[in-house]
Every structure is written in C-alpha cells, then in structure tokens.
Amino acid sequence: MAWDKRRRDRVDDNGESKTEGKPARIRAGLARSVRRLHHRETFTLGAPFLALGRKQQAWVGAGRTAANVALESLIRTIPDFPLPGILFRDITPLLKDPTGFREMIDLFVARFEHESIGQVVAIEARGYMLGAPLAYRLGAGFVPVRKPGKLPAAKHAESYTLEYGTNSLEIHDDAVGCGERVVVVDDLLATGGTAAATGRLLERLGAHIVGFAFLIELSELDGRRTLQGYDITTFLRY
C-alpha cells in the first residue's frame, strides 16, 4: 500500500487491468528470475547498481526483470486515496498471493544475505510485513520503529514532516547495539521523511546502517535526496 501524488491520467501507465489476472507464465517467470538473483555475482558493483555520488548507490533489482514485472502486476492502483489527486499503490493483492509474497521476500533476502545483518529495522506499519519475514530468513533480529505512545520502555523519538503536518517515530533505547549492522526496511520510498527519521534514531544508538531497502520507489518525490549518503535498494519504481 502506497500513495503516489501524480496526475490521475497516468494511472493507466501501470495497467490497472494487470492486477486482475495472474497467468501461469508470469508466475513461472517470476520464480525463474528470483532464482537467478540468488547468485552472488548478481550483487557486484556492476549493472544492478546506479551511481548516485561518492557514497550513495542504489540497487534496483538487476534492471526490469520478469520478477519486477510480475510483482508490479500484483500491485493495485487506487485513485483519490487517501486524498483527491493521490494514486495509492496498494500492495495487499501482492501480500495475499503466496507466490508473489514469497518471491518478494526472496528479492530482499538475495540482496542482503551476504551482508552479516544483525537486526532488520522496520517502520510502522507496512514495513513490518516485509521486515519480519526478512529477519527470519537472514537469521537476524527484528526491531520495530513505532509511532508515538506504542513502546513501553525507555525510548528515543525523532520528528519528521508530512505534506499535511508532522509526526514522530520512536525506538527503544536498547533496540540495537553500538556498531551493530542493520538494514532499514519499508514498503515505500516517497519523500524519505520517515526513513530519514529512522536513520537518525539508529545513529543515536550507534548502529552501523548497511542500507535502506524498499519495495517501491516514487521517483518524482525524490526521497533519495533526503537519504543522501546511504545505500538504497529499491525493486519497483513509479
């Protein structure tokens, strides 16, 4: 689930009708492509990466593969939600599809399985749907970053700006160890505000942020600028 503040006349660019059918050939192609992505050589600093300055690089799912296309076909576009003029990228059809959900998590696993991740940090709430299974597959711990008033123990808080106001995120002060290698996971990179606030929280705890990983990136909102200096992984771009 994600929103995209683009013109409504661009909804058809993503083929809403794609979400209605799941041909066997597409699903087979998805499985084949993800299996190929499990090879270590896929993740060298070659074709899968885009240069974004001295420190920042982005992994984009080894280009537009059958896996990316098949995952995109399971994402539904909802116009005028939650506000008029917004296109909402709804991932619930992908989450309920057993093959699609498994292969989505496999993409994240293939990217980070050799990074010695100690904790997967996920942002409330949709990030939990990706972060928890990823942590399980990586043999890592799972750390939830939560909205205000949800965490019971001593915690740190960071504010961020929304288009329609401000909000904040919180993390327990013992959530990660100093120098511990972590990856931050969420479903969507839009303006990058929530991810940047999470990064600040982790830096206060002394974590080593290996990177940020998102299923979807809304390129026009330029969230990469907000996260400048970090490694960023995205799989689908709108």
pTM to 2 decimal places: 0.75
Q: What percent of the chain has pLDDT over 70?
A: 72
Condensed to tens digits (0 to 9), the pLDDT of residues 118-140 reads 999 999 999 999 999 999 999 99
pLDDT at 195 > cutoff 50: yes
Q: Mapping DSSP to helix (H, G, I), strand (E, B) and coil, where does residue 172 land? A: strand
Condensed to tens digits (0 to 9), the pLDDT of residues 27-78 reads 555 555 444 443 332 232 222 323 233 233 444 444 567 778 899 999 999 9
pLDDT of residue 10: 35
162: pLDDT confidence band, cut at 50, 70 and 90? confident
pLDDT of residue 236: 96
What is the CATH classification number for the domain harbouring 22?
3.40.50.2020
Where would I find the H helices in 43-192? 66-73, 92-96, 98-112, 126-138
Residue type, 157: A
74 with 94: CB under 8 angstroms?
yes
Looking at the annotation, which residues are catalytic?
Answer: 126, 163
Domain total for the chain?
1
169 with 193: CB under 8 angstroms?
no
pLDDT of residue 65: 74
Residue type, 192: G
Residues of the domain holding 121: 2-237
Condensed to tens digits (0 to 9), the pLDDT of residues 72-89 reads 999 999 999 998 999 999
Cα 8 to the center of its chain, rounded Å: 24
Buried b (16+ CB within 10 A) or exposed e, 100-134: bbebbbbbbbbbbbebebbbbbbbeebbbbbbbbb
